[in-house]
Amino acid sequence: MTNQTRRYSTALLVAVSFIGSSAIPLFSATSAFAQTTFNDVPTGYWAQTFIQELASRDIIKGFPDGGFRPNDPVTRAQFAAMLSKAVNKAPIRGGVTFVDVASSYWAASAIQTSYTTGFMSGYPGNVFEPTQNIPRVQVLVSLANGLNYSASQSPETILQTYADASGIPNYARNSVAAATENRLVVNYPNVQFLNPNQTATRAEVAAFIYQSLVRSGQANAIASPYIVGQTTTTPPVQNQVRIPAGNVIAVQYSKDKILLGPDEKVPLVLNVSQNIANSQGTILIPAGTQVVGELRTVSGGAQFFASELVFANGQRKAINATSKVVTTTEKVDKGVNVGGLLQNAALGAAAAAAISAVTGDRAIATEEVLGGAGVAALIGLFLGRNSVTLASVNPNTDLAVTLNSDLLL
């Protein structure tokens, strides 16, 4: 064991209601009262063991209805709260006052701890964005940085493991490589797809945190075919159906328009608009199935990159599909009617910042802004401009996706 490993092997443990002592073991005994089975986490569910193990240690909990809601998104505040239950690391820096985290906020203490221990940071201007859904890449960066993991070989070599490595942001590449080498990464349903910018679910965060415990020597390894770098038997595939490349999936969205700023990428979840069936009439992809991916500004316009289908029963399937490049733009001038511009529209954070900076309107509703960097952190990039040109997408007509490779169901 290296000195670094020794130093950080005690960084993760279960926080329960007792007074700390050097004589107390890192993990408490499994609570006889902890709920470890959930009505929406069936036997055989890909993350069942990860969830049960953390629940037995009171790191995560279920809901009064007996469910765990494994596919629910996790916010930055919720992730900080999970860390506060799983981490016992001495502070490495002083505290900070985040302008959007009141002292009375339910997760204020956990957020402060996540910052002082080096697991999480805010955005420029002392903004934390506690209600922002946290992407998978941020969770992995947080764990790798907080535990001081570093890659022992070229990060780019390690990242070749992922078919979608190009989507990993530059700031995160070293940390994701370190997390990968230390086997923190769990990719379901396809171990080769990281889906870095996809919002992390409760099940995924549970898996990542548990793997951190395993790496620190505080939990037993779980045999799972979805742990990157772990040699296991590939799960059997039965009655697999193939939808050939070139097929088109029509989609719909709750908003009529999405605006993106320059060089912007935002996570986006669309819905299949009509049943997709085979020649015998068997429905393969029901209407309403989620199409998870990322909307990006690209050369010449904007384009949606689909990475995953999420079915109503929670089943997930990796997908490689893209929309056409949408070339429509919208120019925003100083003095424009912001209410009319934003009517039934969703915005990328860069687009929201650009509109705020050009028009002077700082009251854009946060629920209109898609995931990504905080708006306040980006406004300074557009101050002083009298106009800005944004990519404009009608998701209900522009974002039908075409399969780039065969889809196996």
Cβ atoms within 10 Å, residue 199 = 20
Across 359-369, average pLDDT: 55
Across 155-174, average pLDDT: 93
**Mean of all residue pLDDT scores within the chain:** 82
Residue 75 has pLDDT above 50, yes or no: yes
Q: How confident is the model at residue 374 (pLDDT cuts 50, 70, 90)?
A: very low
Across 315-339, average pLDDT: 84
Which of these, 211, 204, 227, 208, lies nearest to 69 by C-alpha position? 204
Cβ atoms within 10 Å, residue 287 = 13
Residue type, 360: G
Across 296-320, average pLDDT: 88
Q: Mind listing the pLDDT tens digit for each residue in 43-73?
A: 889 999 999 999 998 899 888 888 899 989 9
Across 101-122, average pLDDT: 94
Residue 308 has pLDDT above 80, yes or no: yes
Alpha-carbon Rg for the chain in angstroms: 22
Which of these, 256, 404, 228, lies nearest to 342 by C-alpha position? 256
Residue 32 has pLDDT above 70, yes or no: no
Q: Mind listing the pLDDT tens digit for each residue in 342-354?
A: 788 888 888 887 7
pTM: 0.55
Q: Mind listing the pLDDT tens digit for each residue in 397-409?
A: 999 999 988 887 7
Range from 34-48, 118-132, 234-248 that averages highest in pLDDT: 118-132
Q: How confident is the model at residue 331 (pLDDT cuts 50, 70, 90)?
A: confident
- Cis preceding-peptide flag for 189 (omega within 30 of 0): yes
